[in-house]
Amino acid sequence: MTETTQAQVNGARDVEQLAVNVVRGLAMDAPRKANAGHPGTAMALAPLAHVLWSRVMNYDASAPDWPDRDRFVLSCGHASVLLYSMLHLTGYDLSLDDIKQFRQLGSRTPGHPEAHELPGVEVTTGPLGQGIANSVGLATAERLLRARYSPDLVDHYTFVICSDGDLMEGVSHEAASLAGHLGLGRLVCVYDDNHITIDGPTEITLGDDALKRFDAYGWHTEALGEVANDMGALEAALRRAMAVEDRPSFLQLRSHIGWPSPKLTDTSAAHGSPFDPDEIRATKQLMGLPPDEQFWVPEEVLSFYREAGRRGRAKREAWAARLDSKLPVGSHDRHVWGAQWAAGGLPGWEKRLPVWKAGDKVATREALKSCLNAVASEVPALVSGGADLTGNTGTKLDGEPLQSAEHPEGRAVAYGVREHGMGAAMVGMARHGGVLPIGGTFFVFSDYMRGAVRIAALSRSKVVYSWTHDSVGLGEDGPTHQPVEQLAAMRAMPNLWVVRPADANETAHAVRVAVDHDGPTALILSRQGLPVLDGTAESAELFSRGAYVLSEPEGPTDIVLVGTGSEVQLCVKAAASLAAEGTGARVVSMPCWELFDRQDDSYKREVLGEGTPVLAVEAASSFGWERWADASVSLDHFGASGPGAEVLAHFGFTADNVADRARALLHDNAPRR
């Protein structure tokens, strides 16, 4: 523990030192009032936050969505009170009363920063490792857009603070490796090396050398040492890192958690629990703050920070003038810019989507590739890639260079075998704005990226996943590669639209839905070729309702067959068999539960009938189908290795078995004498 003296923390009544101490006071008061929170890290990092927000970063607190602002990511999101304090003090739309409601139900200051809750919060952090991985996406988006529009319109930095916990989580390794490989300058990461975790000193769990690790990844690295309270040294280190254009920068800062608390500095008790009132009083007295006042912000400190928050306004206004000069309002280029930042398409973009003829046989992953290449010029924000599976997942953009230092304009991204890092970087790209990221891997490996997908859903980030090889139909790779439970798991996630198209035409409709949606979309696509079905080419509007009647029997409807993806064709064939024996079967394609659930009850009855037996057919877990169907042909066990068609037949995914199951359901529902 370092020795704390009155002179160190108070000294002359310098407004900047007083400002730092006020932030430390807020960092103690908010958790104390909430009886929950993490004061120690925010206290230790108050000087660093002060330097970033008052000396280094370009932003305008009155315009938090200014596209050319510097981005700040608090990867150690448990220290959220630090970010909230800076947002309030510099003039963002966050009051002191909001901070007093820290961690309370319905407040604007939740326990961890949430991007959809508060202007100024760039990404949702909390699960450790996500923030630093998001920052890789932020920096990638900045470089791509700077190459496209020139530094006159895009010219900013991404600053991230991470902790030992962030660096222990595997996603940080994946993302840091990718960032170093891409040579992402303008990404500056400060590692808060405070030697403390909840369980105690980091030495009990962590023995690797972070600087050597990041140096091996290709980052510019620097050990700053004991300068956590030296604002001049912190600013100089940040500016040295900003001058490194060809690599991301990693600055290791030795801080002391809870400083300058007399009893709790450098203790795990300072990490995740509020200080007791006596310790808060003693610490405030040491810093020269009124010991018995809570949430104390003197006018001179508020004025100082508000001036810092206004400082970027002139730069923003000059930027706006350059935008109007280079891309005049009403010009085609300005429309492209608008579509870019909306991550949407230019008017009429969907007309470029291809159409397939009934009877063609196309894997839906291949249909996705055709769709993306057809619309790439009309969806300027589209950036596509895969986790070493770009060709396999339909995410390859023909003729586009790979994103790299040599090709910063590249709209194709080779993420490597880094599913979790890819997912988190995609969230960062989407949160940056100007990029619509599409990333692909096998559906079974969505498990590896689930943490990032959850953050995308929580923050309503506009990303598109291409998860292919969607069932046991992928065949010989066997149970390790055959998704069975993943569909149910992803459908359980709020805010995520899970779309499993039946054929190539439905895949085109799915792309339209994803581009027009304002949140995350998962496309669940087949490896094997699927027949293009009658009626799907004309179903674009009905498709967007999540489920629709693909075919009706000539006479009365005795049973409804509902399928998704590759199983819709089985429903069509089974309906034909049943019709031959006088049983009327309606066929329903239900590509997206979430969209169908948004429809009114009358439409749901129109599609599924009322009192009519419903049989669902899907090569995945039956979990959840009881909501829509009376019975299902499904998989409640792991798969098997063998040729895909044989495996599907072995598990009952044939038209004959679907027809048999329909007959059995009709028998079970027949009136009893």
Is residue 509 situated within a structural domain? Answer: yes
Q: For 238-265, what is the mean pLDDT?
A: 98
Q: 181-224 pLDDT, tens per residue? A: 999 999 999 999 999 988 889 999 999 999 999 999 999 999 99
Residue 2's pLDDT band, with cuts at 50, 70 and 90, is very low
- The pLDDT score that the predictor gives to residue 669 is 84
pLDDT of residue 670: 77
pLDDT band at 4 (very low <50, low <70, confident <90, very high): very low
Burial class of residue 333 in the structure, from the number of CB atoms within 10 Å of its CB (0-12 exposed, 13-18 middle, 19+ buried): exposed
Strands (DSSP E) found in 6-139: 71-74
Q: Are residues 524 and 547 in the same domain?
A: no
Q: What is the pLDDT of residue 388?
A: 95
Q: Encoding tokens for residue 208?
A: 């690797």
Does some domain include residue 322?
no
For tokens 């500016």, name the residue.
239
Predicted pLDDT of residue 308: 98
What does each C-alpha distance from 138 to 173, 237, 360, 384, 661 come to in angstroms? 17, 21, 41, 15, 51
Q: Among 9-13, 234-238, 454-458, 655-659, which is the least confidently predicted range?
A: 9-13
Instruction: Enumerate residues 6+ apart whose C-beta is below 8 A from 77.
Output: 112, 113, 124, 125, 126, 131
| 428-443: pLDDT as tens digits | 999 999 999 999 999 9
Instruction: Count other Cβ atoms within 10 Å, centred on residue 233.
Output: 17
* Average confidence (pLDDT) over 456-461: 98
Q: Point out the catalytic residue in the list 174, 419, 506, 567.
A: 419
N- to C-terminal Cα distance for the chain?
85
On whether both 429 and 501 belong to a single domain, the answer is yes
Domain range enclosing 576: 542-668
How many Å is the Cα radius of gyration of the chain?
28
Please determine, for residue 1, whether its predicted confidence score (pLDDT) is greater than 70: no
Question: Residue-wise over 517-552: b if at least 16 C-beta within 10 A, else e?
Answer: bebbbbbbbbbbebbbbebbbebbebbbbbbbbbbe
On whether both 149 and 267 belong to a single domain, the answer is: yes
Distance CA 186, CA 458 (A): 27
What tokens does 187 get?
A: 């990404």
Measured between alpha carbons, how far is 621 from 633 in angstroms, rounded to an integer? 9
3-state secondary structure of 612: coil
Task: Please report whether residue 270 resides in a domain.
Answer: yes
Confidence of residue 8 (pLDDT cuts 50, 70, 90): very low
d(CA 268, CA 264): 8
Averaged pLDDT, 144-171: 98
Distance of CA 347 to CAs 87, 269, 509, Å? 37, 57, 16
Q: Number of folded domains in the chain? A: 3
| Helical spans, DSSP H, in 442-503 | 450-458, 486-491
Assigned domain for 344 exists: no
Do residue 196 and residue 120 come from a single domain? yes
User: Is residue 311's pLDDT more than 70?
Assistant: yes
CB-based contacts of 554: which residues, under 8 Å, 6+ apart? Answer: 579, 584
Q: Is the dihedral of CA 488, 489, 494, 497 positive or negative?
A: negative
Q: Is 451 part of a structural domain of the chain?
A: yes
User: What number is the average pLDDT over the span 169-173?
Assistant: 98
**Domain for residue 209, yes or no?**
yes
79 and 222 inside one domain? yes
Instruction: Assess whether pLDDT exceeds 90 at residue 89.
Output: yes
Question: 557-582, pLDDT tens digit by residue?
Answer: 999 999 999 999 999 999 999 999 99
- Taking only the tens place, the pLDDT of each residue in 268-298 is 999 999 999 999 999 999 999 999 999 999 9
| 404 in the same domain as 297 | no
The residue with tokens 């909390």 is 126
Give 515-558 pLDDT, tens digit per residue.
999 999 999 999 999 999 999 999 999 999 999 999 999 999 99
471 and 497 in a single domain? The answer is yes
| Owner of token pair 């590692």 | 191
Residue 439 in 3-state DSSP? strand
Residues 504 and 600 in one domain: no
Q: What percent of the chain has pLDDT over 70?
A: 98
Q: Which band of pLDDT confidence, cut at 50, 70 and 90, is reported for residue 7?
A: very low
- Average confidence score pLDDT of the chain: 96
Q: Which helix (H) or strand (E) holds 517?
A: none
* Cβ density class 159-174: b for 16+ within 10 Å, e for less: bbbbbbbbbbbebbbb
Share of the chain above pLDDT 90, in %: 96
Residues 281, 369: one domain? no
Claim to verify: residue 386 and residue 304 sit in the same structural domain: no
- Same domain assignment for residues 515 and 560: no
pLDDT tens column, 476-500 = 999 999 999 999 999 999 999 999 9
Could you tell me the pTM of the whole model? Answer: 0.96
Rounded Cα gap, residues 90 and 307, in angstroms: 7
Specify if 341 maps to a domain: no
Told to judge if 419 belongs to the known catalytic residues of this protein, a careful annotator would answer yes
CATH of the domain at 430: 3.40.50.970
Is 537 domain-assigned? no
Q: What is the CATH number of the domain that holds 573?
A: 3.40.50.920
- Degrees, nearest 5: CA angle 648-651-654: 60
Average pLDDT value for residue range 250-258: 98
pLDDT of res. 13: 53
Domain endpoint, select from 531, 564, 586: 531
State whether 495 and 591 are in the same domain. no
Which of 2-16, 93-107, 128-142, 204-218 has the least mean pLDDT? 2-16
CB neighbour list of residue 440: distance below 8 Å, 6 or more residues apart: 384, 385, 386, 387, 389, 390, 392, 393, 394, 395, 465, 466, 467, 468
Question: What letter would DSSP give residue 127?
Answer: S
Consecutive H or E run containing 582:
none
Q: What is the pLDDT of residue 671?
A: 67
